[in-house]
A and B are shown apart, each in its own frame.
Chain A
Amino acid sequence: MIALTRFRIAAYVRSHRAFQPLIGLLILLAILHGARIPAGAELGAMADSAAILIPVFAWAARGLLDSEPDEQRMISITAVGRREAVAGIVAAWIFNAGLAAISFAALASRLSDRPEVAAVLAGVGLHLLAILAGTTLGALTSRPILGSPAASTLTLLLGYLAVLLLSLSGQPWLTVPVMTWMREAHHGELLAHFPAVAAWSLLWPVLGLAAYARLRRSRP
């Protein structure tokens, strides 16, 4: 499975399709970090970054999964069985971790002061949650699940919009609570609630990945 994961990352990067989310990421980073981050606002900036990068992670995951032709995916399934789907998700996580590292480096370059270790760890944790949420959204809109590119793009964008709107609503437990991440980070409350927020943020991506695995059983 490791060899298949390497193969898929190499195929995605060499196909140059990987530049699309990378360029999207750089544009977002230029807008996000145009001004220096004042001392004490580091965790809020990291929460904003994590929440805003979810669609970039979804775009990259969908692109990576879709860069493999359908027949090649069939060859991969005969080689490693149903672990092929796992290899695809792991490859997307690894690629998105690279994008998150770039975003973190850009954020670090705009800091005015040295942040607390706890704030940095929480920021890293939020980015990991964002990678998980984005990769799941990308997987659920990839070609084996949604064959039409137009329907797939629309579903990806509407999916992210739904996450934002639901987390703004009175029932934020219905989705990944990205608005709660940002609100609590900016008000200095996130560190106290981080384990609960993280567990809640994990729930929906895990359910989404389970749905993806189930759908892929009948959609190779």
Chain B
Amino acid sequence: MRVSNMSFRYRRRDPWVLSDVELTFAPGDVTEIVGRNGAGKSTLLRLLAGLLTPVDGTISGRPPVVGYAPERFPAEQPFTVAGYLRRMADIRRADPREVETWAGRLGMEHLLGHRLPDLSKGSAHKVGLVQALLCGPGLLILDEPFAGLDAATRAELPVIIGEVAERGGMVVVSDHQGDLRGIPGLRRVEVGGTTARDLGRVDEGVDEGKGKGADETAGPDDPGTADPGEAEAVTLLEVTVAVSRARELADRLRGEGHTVRVSEAEVAK
């Protein structure tokens, strides 16, 4: 998929949200979109998903099947979780049995009979993820997919994203929390100052010729950007945590690609 010279603004007299954006996405790419709040990340995702039309420039080669999970899943709909997802499978012409499969993977089988408006924020977010995954997307767009998820799902989602990429799908994710760092070959695109810059692959370090250096991009909205030299250095971090939360935290850290050892004797006590 190729984004060529793309510019976008919402109304004729509004300032440009994005201008002269040039990006390329290959099958199997997992791309993390980073940038400050209000920089235009969600707008870029909506343009890539085909929800918005560029004012100038083009987006070509978009795969025919697009899965899109918005930042806030609209839970105020008069259906049960199962009823909603089966209808989405019907609209997508997907196998309705996929609903149970994906619900199981995201740990929400017990929620299938619940009404959507009764769900917590995290559970509603999982419904949004399942509907995006049901169709076997060639392009999967996830807007802040880790927000509000429990530790087990935070650990599982990068695995699912990796599987979509392995079968040739493109995955584009906006993420403030760095949960994708464990994915090999992760690409990073920074949105800011009305443009989007390809910073290259995270595990190879950023391409300084394409945009800012690593030191400039690191920050609260851009976790995990590391200098390639520093990436090899390892240190030991000791964390004190309530016993009841130890496993959850360990799972989360493992999901982020860290090596974690938990004192089993302490947990057993």
* Chain A residues near B (Cβ < 8 Å): 3-4, 6-7, 10-11, 14-15, 69-72, 74-81, 217-218, 220
Q: Which listed residue, B66, B77, B132, B141, touches A69 by the CB 8 Å rule? A: B77
Q: Which listed residue, A7, A69, A78, touches B74 by the CB 8 Å rule? A: A69
Q: List 28 A-B contacts (CB under 8 A).
A: A3-B90, A4-B91, A6-B87, A7-B90, A10-B79, A11-B78, A11-B79, A14-B78, A14-B79, A69-B76, A69-B77, A71-B70, A71-B73, A72-B74, A74-B46, A75-B68, A75-B70, A75-B88, A75-B131, A77-B51, A78-B49, A78-B51, A78-B66, A78-B141, A79-B88, A79-B91, A80-B91, A220-B46
> Considering the complex of A and B, which 7 residue pairs feature the smallest CB-CB distances, nearest first?
A69-B74, A14-B78, A78-B68, A3-B90, A71-B70, A71-B74, A3-B91
Say yes or no: A74 contacts B51, CB within 8 Å.
yes
Bound complex: CA A36 to CA B107 (Å): 62
Contact of A11 with B74 at beta-carbon distance under 8 Å, contacts A78-B66, A220-B51 already known: no
Q: Which listed residue, B50, B76, B77, touches A78 by the CB 8 Å rule? A: B50
Q: How far is the CB of A7 from chain B (nearest CB, A)?
A: 5
Bound complex: CA A7 to CA B85 (Å): 11
B135 at the interface (CB under 8 A from A): yes
User: Number of residues in B with C-beta < 8 Å to the partner?
Assistant: 28
B92 at the interface (CB under 8 A from A): yes
Q: What 1/0 flags go to B28-72 for Cβ under 8 Å of A? A: 000000000000000000100111110000000000001110101
Number of A-B residue pairs having CB atoms within 8 Å of each other in the complex: 61
B-side contacts of A69, CB under 8 Å: 74, 76-77
Say yes or no: A81 contacts B50, CB within 8 Å.
yes
Q: What 1/0 flags go to B89-122 for Cβ under 8 Å of A? A: 0111100000000000000000000000000000
Bound complex: CA A213 to CA B131 (Å): 26
* Chain B residues near A (Cβ < 8 Å): 46, 49-53, 66-68, 70, 72-74, 76-79, 87-88, 90-93, 128, 131-132, 135, 141
B-side contacts of A7, CB under 8 Å: 87, 90-91
A-side contacts of B74, CB under 8 Å: 69-72
B-side contacts of A11, CB under 8 Å: 77-79
Residue of A nearest to B94 (CB): A79
Say yes or no: B91 contacts A76, CB within 8 Å.
yes
Bound complex: CA A31 to CA B90 (Å): 42
Say yes or no: A15 contacts B131, CB within 8 Å.
no
Bound complex: CA A3 to CA B141 (Å): 23
B-side contacts of A4, CB under 8 Å: 91
A-side contacts of B132, CB under 8 Å: 75
A-side contacts of B141, CB under 8 Å: 78
Say yes or no: B46 contacts A15, CB within 8 Å.
no
Q: How far is the CB of B72 from chain A (nearest CB, A)?
A: 6
Bound complex: CA A16 to CA B145 (Å): 31
A-side contacts of B77, CB under 8 Å: 11, 15, 69, 72
Q: How far is the CB of A145 from chain B (nearest CB, A)?
A: 14
Say yes or no: B51 contacts A79, CB within 8 Å.
no
Residue of B nearest to A87 (CB): B91
Bound complex: CA A69 to CA B116 (Å): 13
A-side contacts of B87, CB under 8 Å: 3, 6-7, 10
Say yes or no: A74 contacts B68, CB within 8 Å.
yes
A-side contacts of B53, CB under 8 Å: 217-218
Q: How far is the CB of B90 from chain A (nearest CB, A)?
A: 4
Q: How far is the CB of B139 from chain A (nearest CB, A)?
A: 9
B-side contacts of A79, CB under 8 Å: 88, 91-92, 135
Residue of A nearest to B134 (CB): A79
Bound complex: CA A10 to CA B91 (Å): 13
B-side contacts of A70, CB under 8 Å: 74
Say yes or no: A220 contacts B52, CB within 8 Å.
yes
Q: How far is the CB of B181 from chain A (nearest CB, A)?
A: 27
Bound complex: CA A14 to CA B66 (Å): 28
Bound complex: CA A78 to CA B69 (Å): 10
Bound complex: CA A195 to CA B141 (Å): 50
Bound complex: CA A6 to CA B73 (Å): 21
A-side contacts of B46, CB under 8 Å: 74, 220
B-side contacts of A72, CB under 8 Å: 74, 77
Bound complex: CA A22 to CA B50 (Å): 36
Say yes or no: B78 contacts A71, CB within 8 Å.
no
A-side contacts of B92, CB under 8 Å: 79
Q: How far is the CB of B167 from chain A (nearest CB, A)?
A: 19
